[in-house]
Structure 1
C-alpha cells in the first residue's frame, strides 16, 4: 500500500468514526457536503454539540474515542477528547487511549499518542456544562497516576526495541 493509499484509508476511517458520532448525537450525516470536506464539516458540527452537553450517552464513548484516535489533524482530535474528559473523566479517557496503543496499527498508535496529549487539558468549570454546578467534581473521575505510569512503561518498552 502506498503512502497515498494509507492516507485515503485513514481519511475513510476518520469519516466513518465522525459519522457515527454525529449519528449518535442526532446530527445530519452531511451527505450534501463534498466527500473531501465531509469529515471536517461533521467534526465541526459534532464539536459544537459535544461542548453543549452536560451528559453524553454511554454508547457514545467508544465512537468518540475512535474519532479522536482516527482524526488525522493533531490539533482537532482535541474536539473529541476534551468533551470526553469532562463527561467521562480523564481516567477513563486515558485508559481507552492506552488500550488503543497496545494492539493498534501504526496509525492508531500515532492517533492515540496525539489524543493522549489532548487528554491532559486543564478542567475549568466555565468550559463545559458537564462540570458540576458549584465547581465540584468527583476526583475519582480524574485520578490517573497508575494509567499514566502504565503508559510510560509501555512507551519505554516500545523505545527499547
Structure 2
C-alpha cells in the first residue's frame, strides 16, 4: 500500500515500527478518496489478511469496503477462507468482523453528495451465508 500511495519507505523509522508507521500513513489518504484505482483492491485485502493485529486490519478493510463495496470485500475474504493457507484463513477470520462495521456517509467521500450509494455494492447476505456454511463444514 505504501508503494501504491507513494509514501516512501519510512527509512528514519526504526525497523520494528516501520510497517505500523506506513500503515498509519496510508489510512487517511485511503479514506479521503471518493474512489480508489482497481489495483488497490488486492493490496488492501492482502494487507488486511496478513496484518497480525486485529486492531489494525480494519485500516485496510474499511477503505476497501467504502471504495469497492462490502460485497466485493467479503467475497475476497471468503476466497481467502476457502483457498488460503492456514495463516491466510486466520487473517480472513480476523478481517471478517471489520468488513461488517456500519458504513457512514460522513466518513467517506465514496458516498454520493446526498449520502447515498448503490445498495448492490453492499448486499452480501449470500456471501455471509456461504461464509457461515464454510465455517460449519470445517468444524465437522
TM-score range, shorter chain: over 0.9
User: Alignment partner for residue 46 of structure 1, among 23, 26, 36?
Assistant: 26
Task: Give matches, 1:59-138, under 5 Å.
Answer: 59-138=39-118
Higher helix share: 1
Q: Could you tell me which residue of structure 2 aligns to residue 25 of structure 1?
A: 5
Aligned-partner SS, 1:25? coil
Structure 1 segments of 4+ aligned residues over 3 angstroms from their partners: none
TM-score (norm. length: structure 2)? 0.96
State the Cα deviation string for residues 59-118 of structure 1 (Å, max 9, x = none): 010011000000111011000001110110000000000001112122111110111100
For the pair 1:145 / 2:125, whether they are aligned, the reply is: yes
Q: Secondary structure at the match of 1:23?
A: coil
- TM (norm. structure 1) is 0.84
Matched residues in 2 for 1:115 and 1:69: separation?
A: 6
Unaligned segments of structure 2, at least 5 residues: none
Task: Give the deviation of 1:31 after TM superposition.
Answer: 2.3
Whole-angstrom CA distance in 1 between matches of 2:116 and 2:20 = 34
Number of aligned residues: 140
Q: Distance in 2 between matches of 1:150 and 1:31?
A: 43
User: Gaps spanning 5+ residues in structure 1: where?
Assistant: 1-20
Deviations 1:46-66 (A, max 9, x none): 111111111110001001100
